[in-house]
Amino acid sequence: MHSAAGELPLVSAATASHEDAFAPPHIGDNYLKGVMLDQYNTANRQVLAMAAEIDHLGDAIRAAVRGQRMQEALASNRQRNLRQVDMEAIMEKRDAALTHVILVDPKVAAKFDAFHDTAHPAYRAPGSMDTPASRRHVDDQHRQSDAVEAQIQTLLTQYVHVQGEMEAALAQHDIQSMERLQSDIDELDGQLQTLDARRGAAFVEISLWNAHVRHLVKQFRDEQQRGHEE
């Protein structure tokens, strides 16, 4: 199915298969989640970098105006406007990837539904990003998600290393080392699951303020419902 600009690009298992044998504990066999997290993380890093660049250009514009260097200020302003357009396009991709993670992760989907169900005790009235404070709040959630991903990558490096040691211990029938290493694996597994849950909570929090994400969730579910009815 072809999606119009700004709409949710549908993802099928046929186009989202992982080639890697290693499945991180917080992903497991949910390869769609892994694919969409990769897309979200890539887009999120790009948006954060571009936002910093736009802020820097804003500082340059103000400095040029104070120094009465108007041509320089105009040039920086044109550059900032172009970067803003580029960033907004990537933000749409980030929203789409985030939406897919919400939909394909059962725990995150359940949290989303609870927060948006007026009959549920966890219900929270949806907001918007119409104010600077709400936009900063959403930006903070994305920055926290980026920090969580960095922590996850650090733990995954440790996890892969310990798994390698476990394979060596198995080959040598080293029971004592195997027990110690299994304890390390279990601890890393728990830390990864905790971080992933924290990121999932951030995604749901973002959905409470981002009307575009809420629209994409509804769009995707409506598409699924029509598919079931046909």
| Domain definitions of the chain by residue range | 30-104, 126-211
Q: What would the pLDDT profile of 86-143 be if each residue is shown by its tens digit?
A: 999 999 999 999 999 999 999 999 999 999 999 999 999 999 999 999 999 999 999 9
What does the alpha-carbon distance between residue 48 and residue 53 come to, in Å, rounded to a whole number?
Answer: 9
Structure tokens at 65: 């105006």
Nearest residue to 43 via CA among 88, 102, 13: 88
What does the alpha-carbon distance between residue 112 and residue 200 come to, in Å, rounded to a whole number?
Answer: 9
pTM above 0.75, yes or no: yes
Q: Report the share of the chain in percent with pLDDT over 90.
A: 83
- C-alpha torsion angle, residues 102, 108, 111, 113 (rounded to 10): 40
User: For 8, which DSSP code?
Assistant: P
156, pLDDT greater than 60: yes
More confident residue, 175 or 23: 175
